[in-house]
Amino acid sequence: MGLVIPLEDNKKKASASIEPLLDLVAADMQRVNELILSKAGSDVAMIPEVANHLISSGGKRLRPMLTLAAARLCGYRGDGHVKLAASVEFMHTATLLHDDVVDESDMRRGKLAARMLWGNQASVLVGDFLLGQAFRMMVDVGSLDALDVLSTAATVIAEGEVMQLSVAKNMSTTEDEYLAVIRAKTAALFSAAAEVGPIIAGGDRGGRAAFRSYGTNLGLAFQLIDDALDYGGSSADLGKQVGDDFREGKITLPVVLAFRRGSEAERGFWRRVLEKGEIADGDLERAIGLLRSHHAIDDTVERARHYGAVARDALGAFPDSPHRSALVEVIDFCIERAH
């Protein structure tokens, strides 16, 4: 058998943080937050109520921070990046509002989902309003290239959500098919958020491609770790609510791996709980037991590490700088959440 020898690598792992990025973009982010509050306003009172319920619920706002940092790293000195960053966060918020309706979710970020308080119709329409405001802010900035990248992302995200519908409750989903879903659903917005930084800074083709690659691979790693965390991550004592994906019948990578590595009896179990949705007491525990015995969670984290490594190399061609270090550290931060 193999030996696991924790060396100094462990120390590095414990220390990766999002703080350096937060510090670098703090002033710009303050303006993004003000813009978000102002652009969520409307004379139709229900709109700011619904929007602010989610906006004020304490997301990390990682995506707009990528835009801000990427623009600054590429030497941008103007203030169009603030509007683009707010657009990115609105696109994300709109997606969450719509997702909760599609998934019939009750909770979001530890609070009742907007649809539980204001209904499905309001959630769909306020999402559309935010998407509209996002596009208006982009148009305001006036960069056709940035508009192209962000509007393409909006389309791709919607395609990804539709793809997810067709993948849901289908245990024959392959890893590649699942990857295609999260590439569209999650990675496309990370990618666009990062790429509009060099675009507005007037960066060259190479700089745009580098940030596109960074964003895409960071987004893939981020989503895979999210999937692992939904089953408790690689540590047994996480203390986080687990099993949301399981209860919603979502096929994520840990399940794809455990299903393919399991016995026929185990596959019967997965089909019953995820395809038919017949979940009984103890099934989540059994699922987690199977995931662990087939190393499905650890290997999901391992796959995330691969994408993290690609993201890291993507930024390699830029000179060393605080912004670059902070963006690289965010990769490790995202991956270490699983421990």
Binding span for a second copy by CB under 8 A among 60-68, 75-83, 206-214, 232-240: 206-214
135: Cβ–Cβ under 8 A, 6 or more apart, which residues?
87, 147, 151
- We find the least distance from the C-beta atom of residue 203 to a second copy, in angstroms, to be 11
Q: Quick one: tokens of 309?
A: 């490594």
Residue 7: φ, ψ to 5°: -120, -160
- The 8-class DSSP code of residue 111 comes to E
- We find the least distance from the C-beta atom of residue 299 to a second copy, in angstroms, to be 7
Among 35, 84, 137, 314, binds a second copy (CB under 8 A): 314
Q: Is 261 in the site for a second copy (CB under 8 A)?
A: yes
Q: Is 175 in the site for a second copy (CB under 8 A)?
A: yes
Residues pairing with 111 in the sheet: 108
Among 142, 206, 268, 289, binds a second copy (CB under 8 A): 206
- Residue 107: helix, strand or coil by DSSP? strand
Q: Is 176 in the site for a second copy (CB under 8 A)?
A: yes
Q: Is 5 in the site for a second copy (CB under 8 A)?
A: yes
Q: Is 303 in the site for a second copy (CB under 8 A)?
A: yes
Binding span for a second copy by CB under 8 A among 6-14, 110-118, 128-136, 141-149: 6-14
Residue 128: φ, ψ to 5°: -60, -40
> Given CA atoms 149, 151, 152, 158 in this order, what sign does their dihedral have?
positive
Choose between 23 and 175: whose C-beta lies nearer to a second copy.
175
Binding span for a second copy by CB under 8 A among 49-57, 129-137, 307-315, 321-329: 307-315
Number of shown-chain residues binding a second copy (CB under 8 A):
38
- Cβ atoms of residues 308 and 214 within 8 Å: no
Residue 150 region, left (φ>0) first, then alpha (ψ -120 to 50), else beta?
A: alpha
Amino acid at 117: L
Among 23, 104, 204, 285, binds a second copy (CB under 8 A): 204
- The 8-class DSSP code of residue 3 comes to -
- Residue 299: helix, strand or coil by DSSP? helix
Choose between 72 and 303: whose C-beta lies nearer to a second copy.
303
Among 275, 309, 324, 339, binds a second copy (CB under 8 A): 309
Choose between 79 and 204: whose C-beta lies nearer to a second copy.
204
Q: Which helix (H) or strand (E) holds 219?
A: helix 205-229
Q: Is 320 in the site for a second copy (CB under 8 A)?
A: no
Q: How many CB atoms lie within 10 A of CB 212?
A: 20
Q: How far apart are CA 93 and CA 99, in angstroms?
A: 10
- We find the least distance from the C-beta atom of residue 210 to a second copy, in angstroms, to be 6
Q: Is 172 in the site for a second copy (CB under 8 A)?
A: yes
- Cβ atoms of residues 163 and 180 within 8 Å: yes
Q: What share of the chain is helix, strand, coil (3-state, %, to 5)?
A: 75, 0, 25
Q: Is 271 in the site for a second copy (CB under 8 A)?
A: no
Positions in the binding site for a second copy (CB under 8 A): 1-3, 5, 7-9, 172-177, 204-206, 209-210, 212-213, 216-217, 256-257, 259-261, 267, 299, 302-303, 306, 309-310, 313-314, 316-317
